Structure 1
Amino acid sequence: MTDHDYEELGLVAGLEIHQQLDTETKLFCNCPTELREPEESDRRFHRYLHPTKSELGELDQAALEESRVEREFEYLAYDSTCLVEEDDEPPHRLDDEAQAVVLEIAQLLDMDVVDQAHVMRKIVVDGSNTSGFQRSTLMASDGEISTSDGAVGIEDLMLEEESAQRVEERDDGVLYSLDRLGIPLVEIGTKPDIRSPEQAREAAEQIGMLLRSTGKVKRGLGTIRQDVNISIEEGARVEVKGVQSLDDIDDLVENEVHRQVRLLELREELRERDASVGDVVDVTDTFADTDSGVVGSALGSGGKVTAVPLYGFDGLVGAEIQPDRRLGTELSDHAKRHGAGGIFHTDELPAYGVTDEEVAALREAVGAGEADAVAIVAADPETADLAIEAAAERAETALEGVPEETRGANEDGTTRYLRPLPGAARMYPETDVPPVEPDPSEVETPELLTEKVERYQDEYGLDAGLAEQVAYGERMPLFERAVDELGADPTLAAGTVESTVTELRRDDVPVENLTEDHFLGTLEAVADGETAKGNVGAVLTALAESPDLTASEAIEREGLGSAGEDEVREAVVEVVERNEGQVEEQGMQAFSGLMGEAMGALGGKADGDTVSELLREEIQKRA
């Protein structure tokens, strides 16, 4: 892919970071915020959602397009699901804990907190909320973060309810799980100050670090999502939704810039050719005797084949605009929105069982010449009509350049069409929730993770790598509790919550069963001399496999108790006397070999430091 001069192209980008908060209860009810497995669901219900007009009597275009496809939404409910989540009871007041976390985040972003926060409704008719809208509240505005390429302004900080979790996509709708619906979510929107893919990634990393510094955000896949708004000077604003990984942001920005550049180049080529889009034609008869499996299957089920001539488009429908994505892919994305499997076009035909003779007949049926292209859809009659119209509309916008739209992020760093950009008509006041007056004076600014790294080195003596690993790790609060409350050895505690857990996971130990009490109990047992440092992994393994045990019970069951000093000395003396000749001959040079033997004789009942000290004493007596 061609390298681009982003300054010359006039790249402008902004971020929207969505982060789940780790609160006890959801934003508008008292239900827990833990995720459940779908098989735990004890009941289901169905909904059909439709767009409604705003307070000004306007319909949002994104919601209107979504509603053109009739879909059924099914929801998995649980023993923890309440009437608020089912939209059978008005929402409660904004959760106090979530408000407090948001105010901490506002301070870290140097933002101005609003005097009074009002809850708004944002229309959402993709089924991800049972009510047909998402509740959102502006909490702060006008902040700033620093990057190596300059400051990036923070436009706003919103407190929102998380959407329902998508479990299964179906031909006629979607299956959602209600366990995630209503978890408090912050949305941080930057100003359009980002000028390069690298700056976009750095800004996202900086915001992510600030969020984790609170110690009150959820961790793991799906708990943080990034949306990126991207445009170039001659292009258009495109919102890319659902970027899961920070590692993908710079590639995604680069690919979107390339897509817009290519669309502008195709526009110029189409204009030079005086290209146009013709009328939709029913070409079912052309494929009456087809051997194409896709087309034949549609016709065999009572379907039809619709086509649209694309005058002057020959060779350009198949033109690549992103890695492995072409203009034809864009047309296909729009057709898929209406239930079609996709489109075929003459830049790729004959193929898929479609013959040269059928392609020639197709061109003749729609009046297309050699300089023209044709796109077709084979599906049930209603789907075929809607899908080919959508593909034709997208072809029309190719004559204009880059359409404003919302796109979804793919795993390979490319994007796909989702829907038009939403407008102001999708937002209107929520009348069931009273406003709140946030008080930032009662909130303490949390320590930054970068500051924690330095403190862990200075205060606890951790090396730089381990200090950073613990500070940025999801068990950072657990580490601090172990050191501050239990007096655990900092290096042991840090190694336990990071490297030991990683090693156990690699050995297929079910570490997801380990709780904070398991870790704290194990570290406390070491601090109290109940077991040796070297047994931490074995104790945690026993607890992971039998989560109902306490650390003391696991130590007793596995025979991992510590030996007293007399027992340790006795074992060491026995090893030294058994190797008396070697000790007399080699002196302290015999230490390494005897150390391993002594540790083996004690079977993990003593720390290496204790054994080492006693062994040196006994060798020196005889040397």
Structure 2
Amino acid sequence: MYDFIFKPFHEMTEADYAAVGFKSGLEIHQQLFTQKKLFCRCPAGKYSTQYDAQILRHMRPTLSELGEYDGTALMEFKTKKEIIYQINRETVCTYEMDDTPPFELNDEALDIALGISLLYGCAMVDEIHIARKQYLDGSIPTGFQRTTIVGVDGKVPYHGREIHIVQVGLEEDSCREVSDIGHRRTYVTDRLGMPLIETVTGPDMKTPQQVAEVGELLRRMARSTGRVRTGIGAARQDVNVSVTGGTRIEIKGVPRLPRIPLLTYNEAMRQWNLLRLREELHKRGVTAESFKSTTEDVTKLLRRTRYQPVSSTIASGGVVNCVVLRGFKGLLRWQTQTDTYFSREISDRVRVISCLTTLPNIVHSDSTSETLATSEWQTVKKTTGATDNDTVVIVWGDKQDAESGAREIAIRAKEATVGIPSETRQALRDGTNGFERILPGPDRMYPDTD
């Protein structure tokens, strides 16, 4: 079923994308040009690298109205991050820090949002209801974003047809990330709470080029009002992509429209190749039910290794774990994106969830580059009982992170037997993308009681 082989980006045709069932939609976040923030009266659009105080917080998931936890919230909780907020007294108040209830909704922002919704041909909602959307990555100190829908079911003309506008929402912006190293993530709060609109299109774009063109069309329409902000960071696009047999994957926060075609091409290729990988695993008899992996501590076996990342970890008192993936011989070299292989799917999970952010964070027996010595690989394989049909993956770090990393390796490998996990992906500069978090579901939304 998945016989099609992706061509290089510039050789792909519209017929090729149709063959794989390419579909894409946009979620465009556009800051509004207001004097004040959305739910308080702090100035909007005032940026600063100076800060007067820092606040430390830990995020924890909460139950939705249905008594369920959102998968993204649980994943973020597993990372055990310390969140640091750098605060400037001229740009934030006690509302942003969740010490004061929200003020009334900014009327200026609402007027702009309604005007743009009408421009997109949307029907106005009868009542505006503020909801909370969980954000446990720390980008909002409260752990949730206040958001509301102002318009639905719009349409804009595009090359003789119409692009469906599912909804236009009005919501508050998040913090700007300063750094994310190990178990500590740092944000600056000047952007926090600024009003923006989120425009959601249907999955109506059938090629990567169309996605960028529709994004440009909506950008120009919003800018034609003269009431939106421009410049770096004022508009950001989340791009949803799927192929036949795949699932909706969200590429988060694409800062520039010209980057969209290559990003969506690579995501379509990634999904298609992961489906081909699933077929290969099933041919080998490796399914979700039959999947097997084993994990062992091989720190003592590698105490004399000359491979620097491992030797330095052992010297500092860290742990080296080995995960044997039964029946995976050669598959960590399976291509997913341009010059990218399945091993990065695993490495990304280890980097994000286990907080092993120094790369490389894994090595594997399928690798063609120099890592462990041949004799060391043989010793590890013999000790762990790995056969010629298996792949061995090594992960290292402090005891807790190395154990977490080993679990994530097995989890991601097992997911390959099922297909494509629902994820939010990070846009990378080379046009590929990397794992960011599990794709949020409806369980992250609940009414705002404030």
Q: TM-score range by the shorter chain?
A: over 0.9
Matched, 1:270 2:265: no
Aligned match of 2:318: 303
TM-score by length of 2: 0.93
Q: Give the number of the structure whose residues are more often helix, by fraction.
A: 1
User: Contact (CA 8 Å) 1:350, 1:359: kept in 2 or not?
Assistant: no
Q: In the aligned structure 2, how far is the partner of 1:360 from the partner of 1:221?
A: 51
Q: Deviations over 1:197-223 (max 9, x none)?
A: 121111111110111011111111111
Matched, 1:344 2:344: no
Q: In the aligned structure 2, how far is the partner of 1:243 from the partner of 1:277?
A: 37
Q: In the aligned structure 2, how far is the partner of 1:344 from the partner of 1:316?
A: 13
Q: In the aligned structure 1, how far is the partner of 2:343 from the partner of 2:295?
A: 17
User: Contact (CA 8 Å) 1:350, 1:356: kept in 2 or not?
Assistant: no
User: Contact (CA 8 Å) 2:72, 2:440: kept in 1 or not?
Assistant: yes
Q: Structure 1 unaligned runs (5+)?
A: 433-623
Aligned match of 2:60: 50
1:103 to partner: Cα distance: 1.0
1:130 is matched by which residue type in structure 2? P
Aligned match of 1:135: 146
Q: Deviations over 1:75-100 (max 9, x none)?
A: 11113221111211001111010001
Aligned match of 1:465: none
Matched, 1:192 2:203: yes
Specify whether residues 28 and 282 from structure 1 end up closer, same or farther in structure 2 by C-alpha distance, changes over 3 A only: same
Secondary structure of the structure 1 residue equivalent to 2:300:
helix
Q: In the aligned structure 2, how far is the partner of 1:360 from the partner of 1:149?
A: 63
Equivalent of 1:382 in 400, 403, 413? 400
Aligned match of 2:221: 210
User: Contact (CA 8 Å) 2:26, 2:239: kept in 1 or not?
Assistant: yes
Aligned match of 1:360: 378
Matched, 1:320 2:335: yes
Secondary structure of the structure 2 residue equivalent to 1:83:
coil
Specify whether residues 351 and 277 from structure 1 end up closer, same or farther in structure 2 by C-alpha distance, changes over 3 A only: farther
Aligned match of 1:330: 345
Equivalent of 1:59 in 69, 84, 97? 69
Aligned match of 1:373: 391
Secondary structure of the structure 2 residue equivalent to 1:199:
helix
Q: In the aligned structure 2, how far is the partner of 1:154 from the partner of 1:365?
A: 58
1:299 is matched by which residue type in structure 2? I
Q: Deviations over 1:351-390 (max 9, x none)?
A: 23x1000011111122222232111101111101101111
Aligned match of 1:283: 298
Aligned match of 1:72: 82
1:320 to partner: Cα distance: 2.1
Aligned match of 1:165: 176
Secondary structure of the structure 2 residue equivalent to 1:299:
helix
Equivalent of 2:251 in 240, 247, 272? 240
Aligned match of 2:48: 37
Secondary structure of the structure 1 residue equivalent to 2:403:
helix
Specify whether residues 224 and 350 from structure 1 end up closer, same or farther in structure 2 by C-alpha distance, changes over 3 A only: closer
Q: In the aligned structure 2, how far is the partner of 1:131 from the partner of 1:391?
A: 32
Equivalent of 2:127 in 116, 136, 141? 116
Q: In the aligned structure 2, how far is the partner of 1:283 from the partner of 1:125?
A: 34
User: Contact (CA 8 Å) 1:66, 1:125: kept in 2 or not?
Assistant: yes
1:319 to partner: Cα distance: 2.2
Q: Structure 2 unaligned runs (5+)?
A: 1-5
User: Contact (CA 8 Å) 1:166, 1:176: kept in 2 or not?
Assistant: yes
Q: CA RMSD in A?
A: 1.4
Q: Which structure ranks higher in relative contact order (CA pairs < 8 Å, sequence separation ≥ 6)?
A: 2
1:149 to partner: Cα distance: 6.4
Secondary structure of the structure 1 residue equivalent to 2:343:
helix
Aligned match of 1:26: 37
Q: In the aligned structure 1, how far is the partner of 2:156 from the partner of 2:213?
A: 10
Number of residue pairs aligned between Structure 1 and Structure 2? 430
Equivalent of 1:406 in 386, 409, 424? 424
1:113 is matched by which residue type in structure 2? M
Aligned match of 2:437: 419
Q: Deviations over 1:252-297 (max 9, x none)?
A: 1111111111112222222222244412222222212111111111
Secondary structure of the structure 1 residue equivalent to 2:117:
helix
Aligned match of 1:614: none
User: Contact (CA 8 Å) 1:147, 1:199: kept in 2 or not?
Assistant: no
Q: Deviations over 1:55-82 (max 9, x none)?
A: 2221101101100121111111113221
Q: In the aligned structure 1, how far is the partner of 2:178 from the partner of 2:151?
A: 33
Q: In the aligned structure 2, how far is the partner of 1:55 from the partner of 1:402?
A: 28
Aligned match of 1:430: 448
TM-score by length of 1: 0.67
- Over 6 Å off, 4+ runs: none
Secondary structure of the structure 1 residue equivalent to 2:223:
helix
User: Contact (CA 8 Å) 2:324, 2:391: kept in 1 or not?
Assistant: yes
Q: Which of structures 1 and 2 has the bigger CA Rg?
A: 1
